[in-house]
Amino acid sequence: MMADTDKPGDADNDTGVLTDTKPKTQKPPLYKVMLLNDDYTPMEFVVHVLERFFGLSHAQSFEIMLTVHKKGLAVVGVFSFEVAETKVTQVMDFALRHQHPLQCTMEKE
């Protein structure tokens, strides 16, 4: 906040109004969607999930799958709350239907 340094007499005859403003707009929060590694889900299944639900190319999908496999997890994309929630639900449902223990989670950025 800008300080008003006017003395009581206000010799410069300004009104002492503070002109600093605070932006009042809010950016919508974004959510990271992450895939977690496990020992059982086949690599090809994970690649397929990334292509199908995240619109990634085969090469990008393979690369992200390998990152998860080696590092334990990776961010797959960043979305609004509703889109992130939908992706997580779609992936978890698809993995369950195919009896793979693949885990997908979301976290506020």
Binding region for ligand TYC (CB under 6 A): 35-39, 41-43, 46, 65, 68-69, 102
User: Which C-beta is closer to ligand TYC: that of 69 or that of 86?
Assistant: 69
Range list of β-strands (E), the chain: 31-36, 73-79, 103-108
| Smallest distance, ligand TYC to C-beta of residue 36, A | 6
d(CA 64, CA 75): 8
Angle between helices 43-54 and 58-71 (to 10 degrees): 130
User: Which C-beta is closer to ligand TYC: that of 12 or that of 39?
Assistant: 39
| Smallest distance, ligand TYC to C-beta of residue 53, A | 13
d(CA 85, CA 74): 17
| Smallest distance, ligand TYC to C-beta of residue 64, A | 8
User: Which C-beta is closer to ligand TYC: that of 6 or that of 107?
Assistant: 107
User: Which C-beta is closer to ligand TYC: that of 67 or that of 86?
Assistant: 67
**Positive or negative, the Cα torsion across 11, 16, 19, 22?**
positive
